[in-house]
Structure 1
Amino acid sequence: MDGQLLDVRISVRSCTIDQSNHPLITKFVSRDYKDGVIVKDVAGIVIKVGEEVTRFKEGDEVIAVLPVNQYFDIKSGICDLPEYFIVHKPSSLSWEVASCCLSDGIKAFDALHYLGRVRAGDSILLCNAASSFGVLATQLASNWGVKVFLTTSDEETGQMLRTMSLDVERTLIGHQFVMNSIMDETGGMGVSCILDNGVLPNHQSMEENEWKKPTKHDVLSCLAVSGRWVTMQHDLQLDPPDSEILHLKNASVCHLFPDALVLSCLHQDKLLHIMDAVMEKAAAGILRPHLMSVLPSSEVSSSLFPTMNRIVLKL
């Protein structure tokens, strides 16, 4: 930390881990990470601050998002970060719950507010929502007065979502009838926003993929006039007929890659605003991490993935 005037040293109490197998994220990931497992965020107590740090003091309970290009050694339990990646942790939240909410909360805010621009009275279709991110996105959209429709890949995950008592209009199982169901539910108008977790090309056999994801055509068909399609398909290709549908609907498509907010110095104010909002809503009980697995740090392994749960390590 020597010479880093804006750095804050944190004694970490918990952190969340994830896979770094995203083909774009791997370009930025610190080489010190092994087995494709990276740390997404840390929560702990401030033990030292740089000379120019103004927002924190020793003893503060904080939570911080970690850029993928910065390494955190779980065994040491000490993390040095610039103060613009850090916010105060509400005292009512446990270390584990705060950690679980942060990364998925940032992603949800970015997708719904900044990209999807949803507001009260809008409707949204969340595809493959059976994940820690999907649950938080559902809770956030419902809190804003948005009508939420969910899809899941199978009956088991659909039943799991139903047990969470989420405020949704309908949960659809599979994607073979998603277009007909959404058009029926909206009176043929479509939804204001669609957030996918990947889509299939129109020509790909849906039977072979067991209708795990929607096709591009179904997504475009479900969009309302002036709708917004927020996609996590990093290599999405739109053919001329797809572009024509978007054009005729005065609709738009944008890509969700929240790591860009953390890696770029351009949006530090936005990032801090989102982090504060996530912690505020988590403290108020609006964001509740149903899909969370808390493990000791000794059990870190790539075999934990893939999983729909957010993995939290207790240090």
Structure 2
Amino acid sequence: MKALFGQQNSPGEEMTFVFQERENLPPPGDHEVKVQVRACALSWVDTKLLSEIKLKKELVPVGREISGVVLEVGSKVTFFQPDDEVVGILPLDSEESGLCEVILVHEHYLVQKPEKVCWAAAAGTVRDGLRAYTALHYLAQASPGTTVLVLDGASPFGTIAVQLAQHRGARVICTAHSLEDKQFLERLRPPVARVIDVAHGKIDVAESCLEETGGLGVHIVLDAGVKLYSAEDESASKSQLLPHKHDIITLLGVGGHWITTEKNLQLDPPDSHSLFLKGATVSFLNDEIWNLSNVQQGKYLSILEDIMEKLSSGVFRPQLDEPIPLYEAKVSMEIVQKNQARKRQVIQF
């Protein structure tokens, strides 16, 4: 039985991916479930975070969002029984790679998969759904009458965030990074209020949002990273598509919420003063908090259940690439680790 792991020989070096032969698994522990994996979605491995929380090891398990069938349960497992179809996210400290035919998982990381949801869609939506819920339910309340700006709305996460905000009755504005993205967002049903095409850098995001909201500003901003410095200091071409932090502060309405994925966000005193005058807040979106602390385990599992229910009822329609066979997992993971995949990559067994 083979499993995929990531290897980083020295800090800053690109991660390489290797298949390792696994021994046969022991019987499940008291609260463990043995799962036959049917699909596993690929996500970027945050080696810096693993290092910061002292989880860095020579071989890092790859592929944490899984769906599959329960083969065997431990003596104290109460949630599942053999033949149940399940979905979940393996914890950060998991020794198991999701890219393996059979794995052991603690029962508290899994929920039931609805029958009509396919394996690939379940595995491919669970993390983006969790991030969207964390942002639009726990960090800010998307509700009828609010305006939500989702930056890079055609990304896998952006798409789910747009759909959740619309389901909550919010008015949604998106940015598009290419013509294909723009066309995809314009085809969404229900339609988004406005798609701002930033591909050529000629359109001012703040101006467009203020125009769309009659000068009142946006209630909730969900970014996909921001420019921290002026144009001449920015080297990466990808960052040219991102708005400047001042633009986001400008387009925020009074009492607005800025939810950022930028872990190194630096606010200068004038930025803080502008936020103070608006009574606005900045929150950091780190979806790993649910697994880093098990204090809110019940809430976490109810979110996963709700994501599956919304996937089953058609509220969530994820951006998935064609399912990929296991032997191509190495190449796909390299693309994901370089942030070059525009659709969610899912390995199907």
TM-score normalized by structure 2?
A: 0.84
Q: Any unmatched runs of 5+ in structure 1?
A: none
Number of residue pairs aligned between Structure 1 and Structure 2: 313
Q: How does 1:216-235 map to 2 (within 5 A)?
A: 216-235=245-264
Aligned-pair CA distance for 1:141? 0.6
Ranked by relative contact order (alpha carbons within 8 Å, sequence separation 6 or more), the top structure is 1
> Where does 1:157-172 land on structure 2 (aligned, <5 Å)?
157-165=181-189, 167-172=191-196
Give RMSD over aligned pairs. 2.2
- Describe the SS at the equivalent of 2:323: strand
CA–CA distance in 2 between the matches of 1:262 and 1:292? 27
Deviation of the 1:206 alpha carbon: 8.8
| 1:226-254 CA distance string (max 9 Å, x none) | 10000000000110000001100011001
Tell me if the contact between 2:135 and 2:285 (Cα under 8 Å) persists in the aligned partners. yes
- Mapped pair 1:65 → 2:95: no
Normalising by structure 1, we get a TM-score of 0.92
**Equivalent in the alignment of 1:284:** 313
Q: Which residue of 1 aligns with 2:230?
A: 203
1:13 matched to 2:42:
no
Deviates more, 1:295-304 or 1:2-11: 2-11
Post-superposition offset of 1:58: 1.0
Q: Give 3-state SS (helix, strand or coil) of 1:148's partner.
A: strand
Check if 1:180 corresponds to 2:207. yes
Spell out, residue by residue over 1:31-57, the C-alpha distance to the aligned partner (whole angstroms, 9 max, x if none): 3646xx821211111111112111111
Correspondences of 1:247-266 after superposition (within 5 Å): 247-266=276-295
Partner of 2:345: 311
Paired position in structure 2 for 1:51: 75
Taking the TM superposition and a 5 Å limit, the aligned residue runs for 1:184-195 are 184-195=211-222
Contact 1:293-1:309 at 8 Å conserved across structures: no
Amino acid at match of 2:155: S
Indicate if the aligned counterparts of 1:164 and 1:290 stay in contact, CA closer than 8 A: no
Q: Which amino acid aligns with 2:197?
A: I
Cα distance change on mapping 1:75 and 1:172 into 2, 3 Å: closer
* Partner secondary structure for residue 43 of structure 2: strand
- Any unmatched runs of 5+ in structure 2? 1-25
What letter is aligned with 1:250? G
One of 84, 95, 100 as aligned partner of 2:108: 84
Please tell me the residue identity of whatever aligns with 1:181: S
1:214 maps onto 2:243 in alignment: yes
2:324 counterpart SS class: strand
Q: Which aligned pairs between 1:78-157 and structure 2 lie closer than 5 A?
A: 78-157=102-181
Structure 1 residue 236 and structure 2 residue 265: aligned? Answer: yes
Identity, % of aligned pairs? Answer: 33
